[in-house]
Structure 1
Amino acid sequence: MEKFDLIVIGAGPSGYAAAMRAVDFKKKTLLIERNTLGGAGITNGALSSKTWWELSRDMLAFRKNLKRYGMTPPSAIWKEIQSEVNTAVKEKVDLLNDHLEHIKTDSKYSNYLTFIQGEADIIAEHQVHVKNGNGEITYEGSNIIIATGSRPRHVPELPIDEKHVFTSDGIEQMDDFPESLVIVGAGVIGCEYATIFAGFGKTKVYLIDKGDSILPFEDSDVVEVIERNLEAEGVHIHRNSQLSKMEVKDGRVHYTLTFTDGTVEEFEVEKALVSIGRVPNFEKLWAEAVPIKMGKRGVEDHDTNTTVSNIYAVGDITADINLVNVGELEGRYAVEKIFGKPDKKLVYENISTIMFLNPEVAGVGLNEKMARQQGLNYKVVSLDYSCISRAIAKRNTEGFIKLLVTDDDEMKVLGMRVIGEQASSAIQAVALLISMNKGIEELAECVHPHPSITEGIQESVRALLGKSILKSGLMKNKVSCYCYDCSKEELKAI
């Protein structure tokens, strides 16, 4: 039986990152993947859907710009766009495969990594059985990392067939733009696909939202902008509605909604997308004799450790945050715990996120809703994009920067949300401050390139410090600063 220092099950973002970190430690590592190298982080996931979003955003901007000059825009062609997305996915998969091939032939790394494709299951605490087209074999591992990811959640009440009623696994494989599409679920993924299809201008989109606003975890000012833009592009949001029935009749999707006011309505569309969360891939992954404990949302882990001392869990299979960057972070961290000592504790407070909407939304740390739920006093500044020269130059001033800090002399950063053009480029400096538990003065006098979106962060910080160029409160809805007293549940301008 061949022995390894580490066996990694799953070669998605977290598993691949873990294997490569083990190579850094010069440990003999076995990486096993059941399907496509790169996992859902590339196919039917982060890379593919974001490529669709980029192309959709380009098409939306193209249509608007041509309209400005009185010209008729061309129609989007599904097959051409689908081909471009497939090319992007292939480029990334080829990159990973090429990287593995180079590792095989490089004397510096070749002794430390073996990659195989096959179905793996943990038959004992130090043994992994692999089955593929070449047969079956068992390997021994001093340590094991489970990184098998997740898949879209199914419920028996919905007739998901990936022909008429899709999940994110199948929606990108349609033959053409549907003339109408209903999306079940108004969370991040549902809203992203609503943005994508609305942006191409070929599909009437319906979005089912059981509450009175989409993205229920976000602050109302962020949601208001996203909802306004979705509706401007023709998306119909079924607010305060519960899906009570869905069925496929004569190749069309029929669905019934029950609204909170008691009314019931029936609708008919060509296709449906179900986006109600994801579930971990753990079935038949370990034998009953291996006491790995599962929680409600995934493998129970503490700092990547499972209930078995030499087995670790990272990425979507855990109950932590299901993001590619988080999975990679966890994978690398687990390896550092096994073979060394991590430089820093694994924390999630400074994880940067981006929602691919219209406009994009980037965030780190707490928003106002979270801060209030935690009973925190805070100060907050909001700076409109119309105050930022780069946004003006791009002729797109929709959006704002909102920065939360502690309501004390230190003014440590609690969180930030940026909604607007190039939002993701503005977030990282603040994420670093959160990870360092620092206040905001470091950002106040930092010299930013001009013109840039990040200059808006500098002006926001200056406003909180009382030394901004654009004085808070003088221009309504442009620059505002206020503080929140949790004991009184009261906002006051400052």
Structure 2
Amino acid sequence: MEHYDLVIIGAGPSGYAAAMRAIDLEKKTLLIEKNTLGGAGISNGALSSKTLWELSRDMLAFRKNLDRYQLEKPRAVWKEIQSEVQSAVSERIHLLRNHLQELQTNAKYTPYIDYLEGNASIISEHLVEVETEKERLAIEADYIIIATGSRPRYLPNISIDEKHILTSDGIEHLDDFPESMVIVGAGVIGCEYATIFSGFGQTKVYLIDKGDSILPFEDPDVVAVIEKNLEAQGVHIHRNSSLSHMERKDGKVVYQLDFSDGHQEIFEVEKALVSVGRIPNYENVWKEAVPVKMGQRGVEDNDTKTSVKNIYAVGDITADISLVNVGELEGRYAVEKIFDVPSKKLIYENISTIMFLNPEVAGVGLNEKTAQSNGLNYKVVTTDYSTIARAVAMRNTQGFIKLLVTDDEEMRILGMRVVGEQASTAIQAVALLISMGKGIEELAECVHPHPSITEGIQESVRALLGKSILKSGLLKEKVNCYCYNCEKQERIMI
């Protein structure tokens, strides 16, 4: 029976990252994957959907530019778009596969990494069984990491066939742009796909929203920009509605909505996308004799450690944040924790996120909604993109920067949101300062390249410190600083 220091079940972002960290520590490691190398981080997920978003964004910008020259707008060809997405996915999988092959033939790394394609099941605390196409293997392991990821969540009483009623697993296998599509769920993924298909300009998109605004976890000023652009692209948002029935009928998808005011309506579209979150892949991963404890949202873990002393869980299988960068962070950290070399405790407060919308939205730390729900007093500055030279040069000044700090002399950074072009490039310095528990003085005196979006962050910091070029409150909606008092629940301009 083959023995390993570490067996990792799942070769998605978290599992692959864990394996590479184990190699660094010279631990004999077996990485197992039953489907596609790279997992949902590549296929039917992050890379594929973001490639679609990039192509959609290019098409939307192209169509807008043609208006300036009074030229006829072209139509995107779905097969070409689909081929480009598949090429991106194949490139990434090919890179990872070649990397593994190189590791397994390089004398420096050969003793530490093996890779199997097959179905793995944890039989006991130290025994893993792997069924490949050719054989069934028994593997002994000192430690095990579960990194089996997640899949789209289904709704009861809705028959998903991945042809007419789809999830994100089937959306990229369409035969053509649908003439119309309803998206069930107005969270991040639902809004991203609404942005994608409306951006191509060939699909009438409907978005079902239980509340009175999309993205219910975000601040109203962020939501307002996204809603405005979605509706400008022809998206119809069914606000204050719940889906009571959906079925295929005569080659179409018919759905009924119950609205909060009591009335009902029936609609007909060509396709439907169900986007109501994801659920962990845990079925048949371990036998009943292995007491891994599950919670409502996934495997219960304490700092990546499960209820079984030598078994760890990382990525979407857990109840933590379901993001590729978080999964990779957890994978590396779990390995360090197992072999007693973590440099610092795993923290989530400085996790950077990006929502691929129109415009993109990047964030780190707390937003105002969360700060207020936590009962915090804080200072906040908002700086409009129209004050940033780079945004003016790009001829796209829609968006803003919002920075939250503690309401004290230290002004420790609580969080930031950037809405607009190149938003994701602007937040890393702030993420670093949050992780270090630092204030904002460091940002105020940095020399940023000119022109750049990050200059807007510097101006925001200077406004909070009372030494900005554009003074707070003088230009309507351009640069404004406030204090928020939690007890009085009010903003006061400063």
Shorter-chain TM band: over 0.9
1:155 Cα offset (Å): 2.0
Alignment of 1:236-251 (within 5 A): 236-251=236-251
State whether structure 2 residue 457 is matched by structure 1 residue 457: yes
Q: Please give the alpha-carbon distance, in whole angstroms, between the structure 1 residues aligned to 2:155 and 2:361.
A: 30
The code of the aligned residue for 1:449 comes to P
TM-score normalised over the length of structure 2:
1.00
The code of the aligned residue for 1:104 comes to Q
Q: Please give the alpha-carbon distance, in whole angstroms, between the structure 2 residues aligned to 1:228 and 1:101.
A: 48
> Any idea what SS the aligned residue of 1:481 has?
strand
RMSD: 0.4
1:414 Cα offset (Å): 0.2
Q: Please name the residue that 2:270 is paired with.
A: 270
1:156 Cα offset (Å): 2.4
Alignment of 1:224-235 (within 5 A): 224-235=224-235
1:425 Cα offset (Å): 0.2
Q: Please give the alpha-carbon distance, in whole angstroms, between the structure 2 residues aligned to 1:135 and 1:174.
A: 36
> Any idea what SS the aligned residue of 1:22 has?
helix
> Any idea what SS the aligned residue of 1:111 has?
helix
State whether structure 2 residue 299 is matched by structure 1 residue 299: yes
Q: Please name the residue that 1:38 is paired with.
A: 38
Alignment of 1:150-169 (within 5 A): 150-169=150-169
Q: Please give the alpha-carbon distance, in whole angstroms, between the structure 2 residues aligned to 1:332 and 1:24.
A: 10
Partner deviation per Cα, 1:191-228 (whole Å, 9 max, x = no partner): 00000000000000000000000000000000000000
Q: Please give the alpha-carbon distance, in whole angstroms, between the structure 1 residues aligned to 2:156 and 2:255.
A: 15
Higher deviation after alignment, 69-78 or 405-414: 69-78
Structure 1 segments unaligned to the other structure (5+ residues):
none
1:441 Cα offset (Å): 0.4
Q: Please name the residue that 2:63 is paired with.
A: 63
The code of the aligned residue for 1:419 comes to V
Q: Please give the alpha-carbon distance, in whole angstroms, between the structure 2 residues aligned to 1:354 and 1:72.
A: 33
Q: Please name the residue that 2:80 is paired with.
A: 80
The code of the aligned residue for 2:199 comes to G
Identical pairs, percent: 75
* Runs (4+) off by over 2 Å: none
Q: Please give the alpha-carbon distance, in whole angstroms, between the structure 2 residues aligned to 1:293 and 1:206.
A: 39
> Any idea what SS the aligned residue of 1:449 has?
coil
Q: Please give the alpha-carbon distance, in whole angstroms, between the structure 1 residues aligned to 2:50 and 2:280.
A: 22
1:157 Cα offset (Å): 1.5
Q: Please give the alpha-carbon distance, in whole angstroms, between the structure 2 residues aligned to 1:134 and 1:18.
A: 27
1:232 Cα offset (Å): 0.1
Partner deviation per Cα, 1:167-193 (whole Å, 9 max, x = no partner): 000001000000000000000000000
Equivalent residues, number: 494
Q: Please give the alpha-carbon distance, in whole angstroms, between the structure 1 residues aligned to 2:446 and 2:394.
A: 23
Q: Please name the residue that 1:54 is paired with.
A: 54
Q: Please name the residue that 2:102 is paired with.
A: 102
Structure 2 segments unaligned to the other structure (5+ residues):
none
State whether structure 2 residue 131 is matched by structure 1 residue 131: yes
> Any idea what SS the aligned residue of 2:110 has?
coil
Partner deviation per Cα, 1:383-440 (whole Å, 9 max, x = no partner): 0000000000000000000000000000000000000000000000000010000000
Partner deviation per Cα, 1:265-286 (whole Å, 9 max, x = no partner): 0000000000001000000111
Q: Please give the alpha-carbon distance, in whole angstroms, between the structure 2 residues aligned to 1:164 and 1:75.
A: 23
Q: Please give the alpha-carbon distance, in whole angstroms, between the structure 2 residues aligned to 1:317 and 1:104.
A: 28
Q: Please name the residue that 2:12 is paired with.
A: 12
Q: Please name the residue that 1:190 is paired with.
A: 190
Q: Please name the residue that 1:427 is paired with.
A: 427
Q: Please name the residue that 2:223 is paired with.
A: 223
Q: Please give the alpha-carbon distance, in whole angstroms, between the structure 1 residues aligned to 2:58 and 2:208.
A: 26
The code of the aligned residue for 1:439 comes to G
Q: Please give the alpha-carbon distance, in whole angstroms, between the structure 2 residues aligned to 1:85 and 1:365.
A: 32
State whether structure 2 residue 357 is matched by structure 1 residue 357: yes
Q: Please give the alpha-carbon distance, in whole angstroms, between the structure 1 residues aligned to 2:193 and 2:287.
A: 38
The code of the aligned residue for 1:394 comes to M
Partner deviation per Cα, 1:292-317 (whole Å, 9 max, x = no partner): 00000000000000000000000000
